């Protein structure tokens, strides 16, 4: 896998949230033109994108903020049992510290932080624009 792509209406907020999760900004770019339209299937598109990578450089998340055409609601606050891509999961070193860093950026635990058999502490978090993020801390 190279990356997961998400469309947002506030690129800066999405970047700040994922940087607080420990991801690193790889770069930003303006996207438009025939090549882009041909790939994504939208005529006259213009967008700003940001690519973030995990600290180990293995995985990436790409955010797109469209100027044209306008973004459409994709049920960003759908529950976990809705069809389609629902969440992205990250392993973190310290779940409590991570939650403290993302709370000021709008990160809210969906229900509980749970521990499974002294192996794993995990929770779902809603981030910017309703993104559903799973955070996992494994115990050694």
54-73 pLDDT, tens digit each: 999 999 999 999 999 988 87
H-state helical runs in the chain: 11-20, 34-40, 95-102
Q: Is residue 127 part of a domain?
A: yes
Q: Is residue 19 part of a domain?
A: yes
CA distance 84 to 129: 17
Measured from the Cβ of residue 32, the count of other Cβ atoms closer than 10 Å reads 14
Residue (of 23, 37, 40, 36) closest to 92 by Cα position: 23
Q: Is residue 112 part of a domain?
A: yes
Q: How many domains, in total, are found in the chain?
A: 2
Selected residue with higher pLDDT from 2 and 56: 56
**Are 55 and 108 in the same domain?**
no
pTM recorded for the entire structure: 0.87
Residue 80 banded pLDDT, cuts 50, 70, 90: low
CATH code for the domain in which residue 111 is found: 3.10.180.10
**To the nearest whole number, what is the mean pLDDT of the chain?**
91
Q: Is residue 82 part of a domain?
A: no
Domain that holds residue 40: 3-68
**Are 11 and 56 in the same domain?**
yes
CA distance 64 to 66: 6
Residue 127 banded pLDDT, cuts 50, 70, 90: very high
**Are 18 and 62 in the same domain?**
yes
C-alpha count within 13 angstroms, C-beta hemisphere, residue 4: 14
């Amino acid at each position: 896998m190279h990356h997961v792509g998400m469309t947002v209406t506030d690129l800066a907020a999405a970047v700040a949230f994922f940087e607080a999760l420990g991801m690193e900004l790889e770069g930003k770019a303006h996207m438009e033109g025939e090549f882009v339209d041909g790939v994504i299937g939208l005529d006259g598109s213009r967008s700003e994108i940001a690519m973030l990578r995990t600290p180990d450089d293995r995985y990436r998340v790409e955010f797109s903020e469209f100027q044209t055409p306008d973004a459409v609601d994709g049920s960003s606050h759908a529950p976990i049992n809705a069809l389609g891509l629902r969440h992205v999961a990250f392993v973190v070193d310290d779940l409590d510290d991570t939650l403290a860093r993302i709370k000021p950026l709008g990160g809210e635990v969906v229900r509980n932080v749970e521990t499974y058999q002294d192996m794993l502490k995990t929770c779902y978090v809603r981030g910017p624009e309703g993104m559903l993020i799973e955070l996992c801390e494994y115990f050694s």
